[in-house]
Amino acid sequence: MDLTLSLEQEAVRDTAREFAEKRLLPHAAEHDADESFPIDAVRKLADQGLLGMMIPVEHGGAEMDAISYALALMELGRADASVAVTLSVNNLVAECVTQWGADEQKKKFLPRLSTAEGLGAFAVTEPHCGSDVQAMRTRADLKGDHYVLNGEKVWITNASNAGTFLVIAGTDPVKRTKGFSAFLIEGGTAGMTVGKPEPKMGQRASHACPVVFTDCCVPIENRLGPEGSGIKIALSALDSGRIGIASISTGIIQACNDEMIRYAKDRVAFGKPISDFQAVQWMIADTVVDFEAARGLTLLTASRKQAREPFSDKAAIAKLFASEAANRAAYRAVQVHGGYGYSRDYRVERLYRDARVLTLYEGTSEIQRLVIARNALK
């Protein structure tokens, strides 16, 4: 694949890099420490057209290509993975509305998803099931001209600040994969309660909350796609979402390398900079390789998506490799810093914690391997 970027793609990457360095990085440690949602940064992302990056222009977005999107997320993830994942989940919801929405739904929901106030959240996981999506128990029962939702979702990213929820619930679960449907629900709808954010290990400025539905009435016109297509919509959303998580992972790998190289040149042991020791050089070399491989796989997947070619298995490969590589990179970055790497005063300590969840959400590494193996064996 030719990785030469167009002038537009370079411009998007440079805009995102400047934004990330000036607006995100200086505040990332503070938001991590107090677990505060960076609403100002999200508003500024919206002002720059970065929140609605993939939303069609006619619906208020910037309609960028999939490679530009991946490049921008890499830059944001390099500075602050919490903000990057906020944007990535918002985009996942926006892409679902773009792909599956009726004209009226696009007109209503897409312009909002370009703003901080309409921020998107995607609700599948429940207390007893994450990987096994068909075990969902949340019900959506049709009563006249509306559905009544009852059940509980957990770990819903952006829920504390979301204006637009995409919720998957059972409409006829005995039909197995065809027994679930997708619904667009506005924030503040009666019967939908958002709980307190989970106290997390990393990405602490991104809020993941429980969401409880108690006789929550959703008009029939808010069902996204035909009844029974909820699992199909969720899985297609996750294919695109995995490009986002692979991009954020790539950004974290680059941040680890930035920090390792800076520290290794500066820190002296046994009378010379530690960058002179081959053991340290190898940790840097391995991280450079991980970065190049993660970036290449991610952009390859994005280019297939842009070309409208099937990309589901490639997205699983990119997400698996990049998320595991980010954890390796973060381990090495702490190692190169010695004891200081364990201090909250150093950025690598946050990178280490921020990297951990990458192999868990939007499909664990084991689930990515299932997808890849199934495709290889078919």
> Which residues contact ligand FAD by CB under 6 A?
89, 122-125, 129-132, 155-157, 200, 208, 357, 360-364, 366-367, 370
**Residues across the chain:** 378
- Cα gap 326→246, rounded to integer Å: 9
Question: Least Å distance between CB 122 and ligand FAD?
Answer: 5
Q: From CA 316, how far away is CA 322, in angstroms rounded?
A: 10
Nearest CB to ligand FAD, comparing residues 127 and 310: 127
In the complex with ligand FAD, which residue's Cβ is closer, 165 or 263?
Answer: 165
Which residues does residue 186 pair with via DSSP β-bridges, in sequence order? 164
Nearer to ligand FAD, 19 or 213 (CB): 213
Q: Which is nearer to ligand FAD, 157 or 164 (CB)?
A: 157
C-beta closer to ligand FAD: residue 109 or 122: 122
**C-beta separation of 16 from 72 below 8 A:** yes
Residues 333, 348 contacting (CB under 8 angstroms)? yes
Which residues are designated catalytic?
A: 362
Closest approach of ligand FAD to the CB of residue 233, in Å: 13
Which residue minimizes CB distance to ligand FAD? 130
Please return the burial class of 271, using the count of CB atoms within 10 Å of its CB with bins 0-12, 13-18 and 19+: exposed
Residue 156 CB, shortest distance to ligand FAD, in Å, is 5
Do residues 79 and 256 make contact, with C-beta atoms less than 8 angstroms apart? no
* Closest distance of CB 23 from ligand FAD, Å: 23
Say how far apart CA 366 and CA 131 lie, in whole Å: 9
Q: Please state, in angstroms and rounded to a whole number, the distance separating the CA atoms of residues 369 and 316.
A: 8
Rounded Cα distance, 374 and 146, in Å: 38
Cβ 100 to ligand FAD shortest distance, Å? 17
